[in-house]
């Protein structure tokens, strides 16, 4: 897809990945509609972009009013939607409270699903693209991320089904799954665990570069990182091997989950 000159809506625009992605897209002459929950952060983000006909929308897409504000701001012209907003929990499932679980599922799944539905009439007017940003943990269930995995598994399944449902339309629906990203969403306990286990954490800029390349190549799905892509394949074909590998790491994961004695819920961008 030639993205130059396209009008693309980006949710989670003030988060770590969202900020890096907005810059990369603006550099390619994309006209951006940035969505976030904090006015000061949105204004700062707009000011950091190369000159262009960009706009921002202050909205919480987890709410009906927030999604309505986004649809109203878009009007009748849109070439693409990138769902980048999300929250994360890290901790033992038994320690997580109902409010955190509900908020995670509402932001990571329901908000994205309902925003796509609300924008389909506009997206369907031209050749357009929807990208849902998932995670390696949308394919591999990982201890300490049970609810997060559930949300990303759901988003992946939704994306796959909708892509097939709209295969004969002008709207392409795609799934992009990064591995761990070094952003404020991942707290000190996560950083420490990944360091001890040797898990790579990518910079937001590196992931943004991969996502832009993904858009330009016109692929339907992409998992980022090695050996993560290998583990995705193994988990599908020989899940027992992944079971065994994670069982060996379980004491380390549990120790870092208990680092503060509770789960950690990070706000969306």
pLDDT of residue 260: 54
Cβ-based neighbours of 205, under 8 Å, separated by 6 or more: 20, 24
Q: CA-based angle 76:79:81, to the nearest 5?
A: 100
pLDDT tens, N- to C-terminus, the chain (269 residues): 789 999 999 999 999 999 999 999 999 999 999 999 999 999 999 998 987 899 999 999 999 999 999 999 999 899 999 999 999 989 999 999 999 999 999 999 999 999 999 999 999 999 999 999 999 999 999 999 999 999 999 999 999 999 999 999 999 999 999 999 998 888 889 999 999 999 999 999 999 999 999 999 988 999 998 888 899 999 999 999 999 999 999 999 999 999 853 444 454 44
Question: Please, is 110 exposed, middle or buried when counting C-beta atoms within 10 Å of its C-beta (0-12, 13-18, 19+)?
Answer: middle
Tokens in use for 59?
């909205």
CATH superfamily of 7-265: NAD(P)-binding Rossmann-like Domain (3.40.50.720)
Closest CA to 78 of 114, 129, 28, 42: 129
pLDDT of residue 122: 97
Q: What are the φ and ψ backbone dihedral angles of 53, each rounded to 5 degrees?
A: -90, 65
- Residue 9 β-bridge partners: 33, 81
Tokens in use for 197?
């286990």
pLDDT of residue 227: 87
pLDDT of residue 267: 47
148 is an active site residue: yes
CA distance 14 to 41: 6
Neighbours of 102 (CB within 10 A): 12
pLDDT of residue 30: 96
The gap from C-alpha 14 to its chain's centroid, in whole angstroms, comes to 13
CA distance 187 to 194: 11
Q: Is the peptide bond before 36 cis (omega within 30 degrees of 0)?
A: no
CA distance 10 to 56: 10
CA distance 219 to 3: 14
Give pTM, 2 decimals. 0.92
CA distance 261 to 54: 43
């Amino acid at each position: 897809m030639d993205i130059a000159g396209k009008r693309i809506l980006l949710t989670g625009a003030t988060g770590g990945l969202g900020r890096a992605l907005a810059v990369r897209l603006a550099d390619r002459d994309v006209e951006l509609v940035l969505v976030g929950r904090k006015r000061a952060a949105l204004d700062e983000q707009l000011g950091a972009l190369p000159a262009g006909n960009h706009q921002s929308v202050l909205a919480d897409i987890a709410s009906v009013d927030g999604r309505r504000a986004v649809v109203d701001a878009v009007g009748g012209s849109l070439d693409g939607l990138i769902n980048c907003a999300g929250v994360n929990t890290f901790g033992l499932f038994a320690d997580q409270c109902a409010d955190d679980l509900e908020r995670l599922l509402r932001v990571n799944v329901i908000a994205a699903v309902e925003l796509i539905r609300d924008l389909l009439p506009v997206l369907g007017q031209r050749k357009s693209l929807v990208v849902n940003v998932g995670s390696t943990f949308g394919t591999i269930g990982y201890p300490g991320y049970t609810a997060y995995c559930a949300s990303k598994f759901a988003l992946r399944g939704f994306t796959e089904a909708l892509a097939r449902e709209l295969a004969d339309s002008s709207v392409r629906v795609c799934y992009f799954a990064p591995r761990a990203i070094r952003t404020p969403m991942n707290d000190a306990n996560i950083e420490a665990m990944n360091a001890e286990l040797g898990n790579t954490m990518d910079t937001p800029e590196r992931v943004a570069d991969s996502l832009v390349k993904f858009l330009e190549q016109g692929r339907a799905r992409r998992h980022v990182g090695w050996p993560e892509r290998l583990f995705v394949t193994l988990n599908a074909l020989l899940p027992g091997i992944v079971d065994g590998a994670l069982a060996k790491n379980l004491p380390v994961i549990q120790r870092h989950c208990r680092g503060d004695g509770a789960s950690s819920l990070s706000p969306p961008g």
